[in-house]
Amino acid sequence: MTDRTDRRTDRRGLRASAGIAGALVAVVALAGCGGDGDDGSSSVPTSSASSFPTDDVVEVGDPCEAVPGPEMGELLGLGEPLTATSAGAGNYRGCSYTDADDVVVINTTRYASEAPFDEVWDSLDLGDLAVQDVTVPGADAAGLIVAAEEGSLAMTAAVAHDGLVDLANFYVVAPYDEAATTAGITTLLERLAAQPAPAS
């Protein structure tokens, strides 16, 4: 049986080697933010998130408020609570969810954008990976990409709503339940799209 230390090492090693990992830009960008991102001074994603921003300063709200950390772990069927940490400010906000070993399991990245949804996907440079349409009530569009390889599962999802785009990037090693995780990611997109707009 693999203990927690071995599982943590496996996760980090697979994250570095899995083919889709290089495309999951928010995972890399937010993983280093740590617990001091609430002051708005930490770095925020600059690759996909800055591809099509609005010119105006828009307070986009904190995506961590859509799903608390403990509930996120349950939502994804992980059997353990996660810890949510906010990062960024203004047009860009992120939420990094880590497990008990401080390993990033899922990130969300939110930014203000009026770009067509197809251009959002193009900005991620995901190659030939197929985008699955996802139905999210009240959203303009939503999609999901799934990649399972080398005993790992990675997902990138996005939802456009209210002049905002939310990206979600998820990564775990086996064992995992792909169907349950897909349902959980879809619920996350629904929660993000349903978040009330911050007071202006």
pLDDT single digits (tens) 148-175: 877 889 999 999 998 899 999 998 888 8
Strand partners, 83: 98
Q: What local confidence, expressed as pLDDT, does residue 186 receive?
A: 96
Residue 134 CA to residue 28 CA, distance in Å, equals: 25
User: What's the predicted TM-score (pTM) here?
Assistant: 0.75
Instruction: Return the closest-CA partner of residue 125 out of 16, 18, 24.
Output: 24
Q: What local confidence, expressed as pLDDT, does residue 13 receive?
A: 38
Q: What local confidence, expressed as pLDDT, does residue 196 receive?
A: 80
CA distances from 31 to 99, 166, 183 (A): 12, 17, 24
Residue 117 CA to residue 177 CA, distance in Å, equals: 28
What SS3 class is residue 166?
strand
Q: What local confidence, expressed as pLDDT, does residue 86 receive?
A: 93
Name 100's Cβ contacts closer than 8 Å, sequence gap at least 6: 4, 80
CA distances from 99 to 75, 130, 146, 195, 198 (A): 14, 29, 21, 24, 28
Q: What local confidence, expressed as pLDDT, does residue 72 receive?
A: 93
Burial class from Cβ neighbours inside 10 Å (0-12, 13-18, 19+) for residue 158 reads: buried
Q: What are phi and psi of 102, to 5 degrees?
A: 65, 25
Residue 78 CA to residue 167 CA, distance in Å, equals: 20
Residues of the chain whose pLDDT is less than 70?
Answer: 1-57, 125, 127, 199-200
- Given a contact cutoff of 8 angstroms between Cβ atoms, the answer to whether 14 and 173 are in contact is yes
**The pair of three-digit structure tokens given for residue 189, joined into one six-digit string:** 């997109």
Q: What local confidence, expressed as pLDDT, does residue 119 receive?
A: 82
Q: What local confidence, expressed as pLDDT, does residue 21 receive?
A: 39
**The pair of three-digit structure tokens given for residue 181, joined into one six-digit string:** 């995780």
**The pair of three-digit structure tokens given for residue 94, joined into one six-digit string:** 């992120």
Strand partners, 63: none
